[in-house]
């Protein structure tokens, strides 16, 4: 079903049903056991710093089970670990993983399109070299905070080519492993290629990265088949019809639906404006209907009581803040805005909508 072409209320109903079904699946005994088994076999905690672009869906592109990768999103994948909130969130995440005896792998991503530079990253004005330079700076910041020995925390720069959803792994000496140049028959070669490319990465961490790369090879094959059948022409262009603000959107495993803005930048209005501009462009280009778009704020909580109450206030604040930015900069678009607020029970992945 091409959900992008449906009326806005049908799209919203579809989204809420998707969130409900995702939560039910996540909480099922089979899924719970599968996650436990996967993490026992692959104990490295993997976090992904990535763009808000709805085409960037690393779990889908790597065939990774839901709940394994921890996402952090912002405009263009632009992050500064000096940002007070972001630095605290990342440090807390690393400390919690280390307390459980796990290493942490940060995938620091940028994206581009090999078919058309204009389908690349608008956040960097479609300048891929500028995006790469920024990810390398993030890598240096991670090393500054967590150490450059890489025994516990490893920052890995990864490109993501959006035409084929292909990963490109950057090595320590400037070399790169571009998975778009490999085939399904090259899976057996991934382990020695990684060892040669990333000699300073702990062996267990490399072993835990391998399933993502093997999954990406399989996904690339599927994408190429879609292209052959002319089923992917619009999927490589922006077709997002909602702005998601906050965290806890891993139920959106269907790519190209949402622009996801994390609550990290001190200038939060900037990515919101950019996201609204993309929504407006999508409407003008008739890639989505012009009858409306969704603004959804979500904040996760770990515990009931105080933690959930804080999440409610934060979700309401984020929703109101974003709405005011959009009304000020895109008043006509704001008239088409449907607003919803939610909190997410992180343990059960239950999305709970707030009234008012």
Residue-wise pLDDT tens digits, 12-56: 999 999 999 989 998 999 999 999 999 999 999 999 998 877 678
| Beta-carbon contacts of residue 146 (< 8 Å; ≥ 6 apart) | 94, 104, 152, 153
Please report, for the chain, the start and end positions of each structural domain, with discontinuous segments joined by +. 43-228, 242-354
Which pLDDT does position 237 carry in this prediction?
67
Give all strands of the β-sheet with 176-178 in edge-to-edge order: 69-74, 45-51, 104-112, 153-161, 166-170, 176-178
Check for a shared fold between 43-228 and 242-354. no
- Domain 242-354, second-level architecture: 2-Layer Sandwich (3.30)
CA distance readout (Å), 290 to 68, 281, 284, 285, 287: 36, 10, 8, 10, 9
First to last CA, the chain: 31
pTM: 0.88
- Which residue from 274, 260, 261, 282 is spatially nearest to 326, judged by alpha carbons? 274
CATH class, domain 43-228, is alpha beta
Q: Give me the pLDDT at residue 74, please.
A: 83
Contact 179, 189 (CB under 8 A): no
Strand partners, 299: 343
At 292 the pLDDT is 93
The stretches in the chain having pLDDT less than 50 are 234
Nearest to 213 by CA among 257, 237, 179, 244: 179
Q: What is the pLDDT of residue 1?
A: 57
pLDDT for 253 equals 64
Task: Determine the 3-state secondary structure of 294 from DSSP.
Answer: strand
């Amino acid at each position: 079903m091409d959900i992008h072409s449906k009326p806005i209320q049908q799209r919203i109903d579809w989204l809420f049903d998707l969130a409900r079904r995702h939560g039910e699946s996540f909480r099922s005994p089979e899924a719970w056991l599968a996650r436990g088994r996967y993490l026992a076999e692959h104990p490295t905690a993997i976090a992904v710093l990535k763009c808000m672009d709805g085409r960037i869906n690393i779990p889908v592109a790597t065939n990774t089970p839901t709940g394994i990768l921890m996402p952090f999103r912002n405009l263009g994948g632009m992050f500064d670990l000096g940002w007070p909130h972001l630095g605290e969130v990342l440090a807390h995440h690393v400390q919690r993983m280390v307390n459980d005896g796990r290493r942490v792998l940060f995938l620091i991503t940028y994206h581009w399109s090999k078919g058309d530079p204009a389908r690349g990253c608008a956040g960097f004005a479609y300048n891929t070299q500028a995006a790469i330079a920024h990810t390398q700076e993030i890598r240096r910041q991670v090393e500054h905070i967590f150490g450059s020995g890489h025994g516990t925390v490893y920052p890995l720069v990864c490109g993501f080519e959006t035409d084929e959803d292909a990963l490109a792994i950057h090595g320590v000496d400037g070399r790169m492993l571009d998975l778009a140049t490999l085939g399904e028959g090259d899976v057996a070669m991934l382990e020695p290629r990684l060892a040669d490319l990333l000699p300073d990465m702990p062996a267990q961490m490399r072993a835990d990265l391998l399933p993502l790369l093997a999954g990406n090879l399989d996904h690339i094959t599927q994408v190429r088949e879609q292209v052959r059948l002319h089923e992917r022409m619009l999927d490589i262009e922006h077709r997002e019809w909602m702005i998601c603000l906050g965290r806890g959107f891993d139920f959106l495993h269907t790519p190209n639906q949402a622009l996801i803005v994390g609550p990290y930048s001190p200038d939060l209005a900037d990515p919101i404006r950019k996201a609204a501009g993309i929504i407006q462009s999508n409407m003008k280009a008739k890639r989505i209907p012009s009858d409306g778009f969704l603004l959804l704020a979500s904040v996760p909580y770990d515990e009931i009581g105080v933690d959930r109450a804080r999440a409610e206030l934060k979700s309401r604040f984020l929703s109101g803040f974003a709405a005011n930015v959009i009304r000020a900069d895109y008043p006509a678009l704001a008239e088409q805005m449907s607003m919803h607020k939610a909190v997410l029970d992180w343990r059960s992945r239950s999305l709970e909508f707030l009234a008012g």
